Structure 1
Amino acid sequence: MNRQKFMQDMEKYLRPMDRIERAELLADYDQHFVLGLREGRSEEDIARELGRPEEIAREALGDRYNAHETSDTSGVDPFDVPTFREMQPPSSRNRATRNFFAAVGLIFLNLMLMIPIGLSLWSVWLTLAGLSLLVLAPVAAAVDYLFLGHLEKAEIFISIGLFGIGILFAIASKSVFRAFKVITLQYIRWNARVMRGDVSE
């Protein structure tokens, strides 16, 4: 059973239910299909996992289901039963409202907390990257010798030591850059998912 047939059967069996309650229940089951398809599962597998629409309706309706079976459904006004497509605009409006408030919340979260923290973290990397320039100490010593003709043994040892320290800072800054890059990109993607309303509840 595919998604369309499942939702049509659900709509048929849930006719005795209140219009708003029915719309909410149908929207919930349709959301199962949306999330399942996003995970790469087929419509048939999702429908099989959810169960038979008739049994779902019987459980949701309770006594109303038995009353529906014994009543004459020929007198049901077809215009009184909204189709599933007609139920989508309210759901879309609710989703748009939720996305709007999520966007406002994200703006405040980012401005007040995450952007300052992010800038602080990246300033740590910038400091490490700046200290890695100590690898140029031997170059400075060579320039001092070539242009000023002045070079002491202590200066040679210091420049060699600074060269080693600069290499360590360069390695550290490279590792920190990779870690901060991953964290930053993941946070940006999470922001985009929240703005689109893709984060599962």
Structure 2
Amino acid sequence: MNKQQFMQAMEVHLRPMDPLERAELLADYEQHFEMGLREGRPEEEIARELGHPIEIAKEALGDRYDAQTPGSDPFYAPTFEEMRPQQRGNRAARNFFTAIGLFFLNIMLAIPLGLTLWSVWLTIASLSLLVFAPVAAVVDFLYLDHFEYSEMFVSIGVFGIGILFALATKSIFKTFKLITLQYLRWNQKTMKGDA
């Protein structure tokens, strides 16, 4: 068996191996041939010393070599892509259990916590309605004919507090919105297996 025949047989029998791993192993055997040829030895002698490609593949692949279909051609070796559906089954199981975990995490923790956060925001947003205190003082004066200086100063103070709550409402809304969107993206990444 010359170098070309040896390398082609190795390529065929190492098909179940990851392409990068296979390329690295084939490069090693290519290097053996180059070194032997530099020493002046014939290709056939180098191939005999290295061993038979089937035996080398069995040793390199281990259990993966035995994963061939029973009764098939003894020179058949499944490709790396043919071996992958087994991993997809594991991925489906992983996705199933991930979905169950996320469901319970969301039901038990994320949804109640999220509702609490948004309730706090709603409370602060409703306190920003204090900006209408001067309007209430004017209505009190116009319809009830009741006017006190202290009521006017209190309504101006409450108006200022209402403005502060309105500003806080805006910044808290942005923060809670960002947190909520990041959590939803994390859920998506976790389901895809990217997290």
CA–CA distance in structure 1, aligned partners of residues 160 and 170 of structure 2: 16
Identity %: 55
Distance 1:14 1:172, change over 3 A: farther
1:126 pairs with 2:122: yes
2:167 corresponds to: 171
Alignment of 1:42-191 (within 5 A): 53-55=23-25, 69-73=50-54, 77-79=74-76, 81-191=77-187
Please name the residue that 1:12 is paired with.
Answer: 11
Q: Is the 8 A contact 1:106 1:191 kept in 2?
A: yes
1:25-81 Cα shifts (integer Å, max 9, x gaps): x3xx7xxxxxxxxxxxxxxxxxxxx788225996xxxxxxx999421459x8343x1
Change over 3 Å in CA distance of 1:72–1:148 after alignment to 2: closer
CA distance in 1, matches of 2:83, 2:137: 77
SS at match of 2:78: coil
- Pair 132,148 (structure 1): closer, same or farther in 2 beyond 3 Å: same
Q: In 2, are the aligned partners of 1:13 and 1:53 still within 8 Å (CA)?
A: no
Are the structure 2 counterparts of residues 57 and 104 from structure 1 closer, same or farther at C-alpha, using a change threshold of 3 Å?
Answer: farther
Distance (Å, rounded) in 2 between the aligned partners of 1:67 and 1:113: 66
**Deviation larger for 99-108 or 145-154:** 145-154
Q: Distance in 2 between matches of 1:118 and 1:57?
A: 56
Instruction: Describe the SS at the equivalent of 1:77.
Output: coil
Length-normalised TM-score, structure 1: 0.65
Structure 1 residues 71 and 169, CA gap change in structure 2 (3 angstroms)? same
SS of residue paired to 2:84: helix
Q: Provide the secondary structure at the position in 2 that maps to 1:82.
A: coil
Paired with 1:170 and 1:123, the residues of 2 have a C-alpha distance of 15
Q: Decide whether the 8 Å contact of 1:13 with 1:54 is kept in 2.
A: no
Deviations 1:64-118 (A, max 9, x none): xx999421459x8343x11122122212111111111001000111111111111
Q: Which amino acid aligns with 2:190?
A: V
Quickly say closer, same or farther: Cα 1:120–1:68, change in 2 above 3 A: farther
Amino acid at match of 2:116: S
